[in-house]
Structures are given as structure tokens and as C-alpha cells.
Chain A
Amino acid sequence: MAERKGAEPGLPFSHGEGRANCIGRLRQDLRERRGAWAVETRDRLERGGELPTVARSWDVDGEVMNLGRYVVRKLIEIVPALAVVSILVFTLVHLTPGDPITLMLGPFASQELVDATRAQYQLDAPLPSQYFSWAGRVIRGDLGRSIQTREPVAKMIADRLPVTFSLAVWATLFSCVVSIPAGVAAAMHAGRPLDTMTIAATALCLSIPDFVAATVLVLVGGVVLRVLPMVGYVPLFADPLGFFSHLVMPATALGLIYLGLLSRMVRSSMLDVLGRDYIRTARAKGLGDRLVVLTHGLRNALIPSVALVSLNFANMLGGTIVIEEIFALTALGRLTVRGVLTRDFPVIQGATLFVGFGFVLSSLVTDVLLGIIDPRIRHR
């Protein structure tokens, strides 16, 4: 299809083009491509009727898989993933050189105690049967007890979840609120200075390490301006204002990299969508620029971003270790680090397993969400 002079790059016609003109060009398109879509659109346009919006036009062939069946299929699909993750976590601890019992009880334990503990943990059994008895306990929610504190690992994880979740939610919100407008604006100004600036800014966001950003934030917000608390966490219901002020800096530092990733994703999928036929159709209908971009464009362009956001969220459950350390937040990552520093294997195993399972489950949620938003995906 030949591009008209004066048209925006990637768009088939200029904003001021009239409806009749557009119908004519669709006819020309027809001659060139003879697509069923173009026939249908032309007919509807000439009848002055409604245009097929994207969401409705997909199930034209009536073969979209039922959502229930799709969810069940996805549920079955995650079983091997969960198994692989648990086997990896199980193997991880067995990588450790040396006897886990010696590590657990220290070098001065009596032989009877060593033998008793070995039997208790079934460490004399072959590895596969050890794995299955461990997996059985995990399914019942028993992650063992910490060697250091004798606390159940499941409880230690549960205690730290509110902080982990608050941090992840705030960082996600921050990254979405900034990156979606930035990505859309960049796409609408593709190739112009605003676009170039956005790309440069995202490159910066992507490559400043989170702990460097955190240090700078602490320096500015906590030391120079003295407006924000430098460390710690306050529960939301105890002190809402304190909750927010404690999370602003960690969430910003954490969200930066995801902000960069997401802006790029929004920009490129928006550019992709703006070049599609249905956007041309929407413009042909005479819709204004803003309406076209926001309703027809953004809704479709955000589909890949939904996947990215939930992936990021899953990553934040366990990948915020350094940020937690800097802001002294007692969340999951610090639990792992403490486990590593004190060689507390049940804790390392439990926390890693939790994060791995969290990732698999959130990819399930993503798949289902995408299946709801975009029925085409259920075909795959």
C-alpha cells in the first residue's frame, strides 16, 4: 500500500482525511489484496453501520476455546513446571559440599545425635525417595524448621509476605503510572525529539543498578532534604502515612528498571498497533486522534505489557534483596540472605521454593488474564 504524502510514518493516511476519500482508498486496497476483512469493512462503512471493533471481530470464526477449558489446560500445564522447580530447589541444597548433618548440628555433636537426626530427616534413604518425602511435606505446607531459630520456615515466610507484597505492589504501580504515558507519548512522536529522549531515559533506567539508585535516593531524600525516613517499614493499618513514606524510596529504586522495560514495551507495541488496519478503520470512521490512540490503540497495545507487568511482579517477590537490605525491610529476600550467611538450609530451600512457585503461579495468572483480554491467545 502506497503511503500518502504528509501522512504520519506508519499510518496509512493523514488526520484530516475525509470519510469518502477513505472508502475510496479501501476500495483500492480491495483491488490489491481482496481480503475478506476489507470487503466486510467496506460494506459496513457504505451502509453507514458500525465498524467491527477488534475485540468483537476475533470470534467471527466461532472457534475460540471456552475459557473454562483454557484455564484447565493451563492448570495442567503448570504441574511439570512446579515439579521441575521443586527438583531444582531440592538439588540446590544437595550441591553443598560436606555433610548437611554436620552443618546442621556443628562439628561437636555426638554420634548418636548425628545418627538420630540423619534418620529423622531420612538422609540415609536414596535421593529420589528423599525427594518424594520432602515434596510430600511441602504439599502439606511443611517447609521444615530453621536451624538457627527453630521457627517453622512456612511461618517465617508468611511473616515477611506483607512487606514483600507492599513493596512489589508499589513498585509495580510506580512503574506503570510513569511508563504507560511515556511509552504512548514516545510512540505518538516516533522519530522525533520526545521519542529520542524517552529512549535515552529508559536506557538510563535499565542500566542504573537498583542499589545505586537507592543510595542516591537515600542521600537526597533522607540525608539532604531530610523529608523521608531512611529505613524501616510501618504496617498500612498502623500508620497509613508512615506506610507510604517508608515505601516511597524503596519502591522508586526498585521500580526504575521495570519502568525502563515497560516503557519500551508500551512504545514498541503501540507503534505496532498504530500501523494496524483497525486503527486505520477507526480513523476512517472519523474518530479523533486521542480517542483512536486511547481506546482502540492502547487497549490492544497493552496486551503484551500485561504479561510483562505480571512477570516483573513475580520477579519482585524474590529479586528485591539488595533494596531490602538498604532500607532494612524484613522481607523475603533478606530472609534468604540471612539463610545463606548462617548456612540455614531449610530457610534457603523454603524461601527459594516459595519464590519459584510464586513465579510459576503468576505466569499461570498471566496466561489466564491474557486469555480473558485477548481470546485469540486461547487458540495457541
Chain B
Amino acid sequence: MHHSAWRRLGSDRIALYGLGIWIGLMVMAIVAPLLPLPSYEDMNLERPLSLPSTRHWLGTDSFGRDTLSRVVYGARVSMGVATAAVGVAVVVGTMAGLTVGYHRGLVDTTISRVMDGVMSFPPVLLAIALVGAIGPSARNVAIALAIVYVPRFTRVTRASVLGVAELEYVQAAHALGAGAATIMFGHILPNVAGPIIVQATASYAYAIIAEAGMSFLGLGTQPPMPSWGSMLADARRYLETDAWYAAIPCVVLSTSVVSITLVGDRLRHALDPGQR
């Protein structure tokens, strides 16, 4: 990662807006229990589907639960699952990619074949099948998504490592007697970090969509814990009478995913300004 790339990103308004929203969501997810919000699971069956009021800023859902509070705790689930899944996938995938890209040989062929096999399945289908095997819950969604995303990072890392490993500074480090670990982590990793970060940002956005999609189907976050996906699934039943209720999860989901995608997009441009 070059410093000029960070500078380009820092002067990019769109990227900064996106990053701002992303950080805002993270902060909201972390401090959710400290916010003066009504409980997300207290039902009030006398006031279902009420419009925004001073007591319930975003109104209430079909069980009379506070929508704002559910949105905030939904962010906690979304961000938590996406961060865990992408975090694990980045670490495992990058390590695997570095190792096989640097050492090559039979291990490389075998691992690459397995990774190609994993990538033969549409991500959501594979995640759903995995959750089917290990049971539906937010934690298992994170595990399944991590497994689904590992090959993407292995592939990106491996491809970049193949290009960098032949360069002179790597050869020089080798000639100076540096060990494989020093070369891989000290010399190669910093020079292949760019594509990995871009891939991580894109995967983060897709992980949010995937978590919401699976919760939408009832295979992700289980009640009473709210998820943006399950909120939308619930709201869809009242689409004809109370469309605003469906609008809230739609807007929240789209805004977060658009912001994160934009950050990734601009980041890719900042890292590789010549690319069109």
C-alpha cells in the first residue's frame, strides 16, 4: 500500500462519505446497549404498526416493538456477522494464499483445486447449505460466510504473490538470507495488501447482504434478536397497508451496502489510478 493511495483516498469526497457512514454504523453497533432506547423485544400488542411518534421515533413493528431500537440492534447483528466472517476469511485466506503462492508445488495445486471447487457454488447457496448442516443462528451464519469467502482471499492473494515473488527485492531478501516467513510477511504481504483490502471491502458489503438474505428466509439470526433481513421479511406481510414499515429496513440496508461498496470502489481506484 502506497502512501499516495491513502492520500488519494483522503481527498476523495465520495469515499469519505461512505467511510463516514460505515464508521457510524460500527459505532452504533458497538454502543447500542448504552443508547437510551426502548427494549427491542418488549412487545406492545395494543400499538402494533404505529407511525413514528415521540416515544417511538421510527414507529413500532407488528408486535408493537420499537423499530428504531430494532434497527440499531440489527446493525449490531449485521456488523458483527460481517466483521467476524470477513475477518476470519481475510486471515485464513491470506495465510493460505501467501503460503501456496510462495511455495507452489503440489500443495498449491491441491489447495487451488479445492478452492475452485468451493467457488463453484453460488455464495448464498453454499452458506445456506452449510447453515443447514450446522443449524441456523447468527454465529453459524458468520462461520458459513467465512468458509464461503476464504477461497476469494486465497485466490486474490495467491495471484498477487505470484507476481511479486519474482521481483528483485524479494530475490534480494532471499539472497541476504531472510527466511521464508520474513520474506512472506515482511516483504511480500505489504506489497499485496492493496487487492486484499479491496476484496475485503467488497466481501463486507456482500456479507451484510447475505446475512440479511438468510435472516429474511428464517435461516439466519433467530428471534427475538432483530436482523434487518428478518425485519423486512416481517414487514413484507403488511406491504399493502403499511408500506413505510418495509421502507425502513430497505433504506437502512441499501444505505449501508451502498456506502461500503463505494468505499471499496474508490479504494480500488486510489490504489490503481491507471485502471479504468
Contacts and interface: CB of A to CB of B under 8 A. Distances in A.
A and B together in one complex: yes
Interface of A: 80-81, 84-85, 87-88, 92-93, 95-97, 190, 203-204, 206-212, 215-216, 218-219, 223, 267-268, 271-272, 315, 317-319, 321-322, 325-326, 333, 336-337, 339-341, 343, 348, 352, 355-356, 359-360
13 contacts: A81-B113, A84-B116, A85-B117, A203-B265, A206-B261, A209-B213, A212-B253, A215-B246, A219-B243, A325-B217, A340-B136, A352-B125, A359-B121
Contact of B236 (A208, A215, A268, A317): A215
Contacts of B254: 207-209, 212
10 closest residue pairs by CB, A with B: A319-B122, A340-B132, A84-B117, A207-B261, A318-B125, A359-B120, A209-B209, A207-B258, A207-B257, A95-B133
Contacts of A267: 276
Contacts of A84: 113-114, 116-117
B259 to A, nearest CB: 8
Nearest to B235: A215
Contacts of B261: 203, 206-207
Residue of A81, A84, A359 with most partner-chain B CB within 10 A: A84
Residue of B121, B218, B246, B253 with most partner-chain A CB within 10 A: B121
Contacts, number: 134
Interface of B: 113-114, 116-118, 120-126, 128-134, 136, 205, 209, 212-213, 216-219, 229, 232, 236, 239-240, 243, 246, 250, 253-254, 257-258, 260-262, 265, 276
Residue of B124, B132, B246 with most partner-chain A CB within 10 A: B132
A355 B114 contact: no
B117 A219 contact: no
B56 to A, nearest CB: 22
Nearest to A363: B120
A326 B236 contact: yes
A348 B212 contact: no
Contacts of B260: 207
Contacts of A215: 232, 236, 239, 246, 250
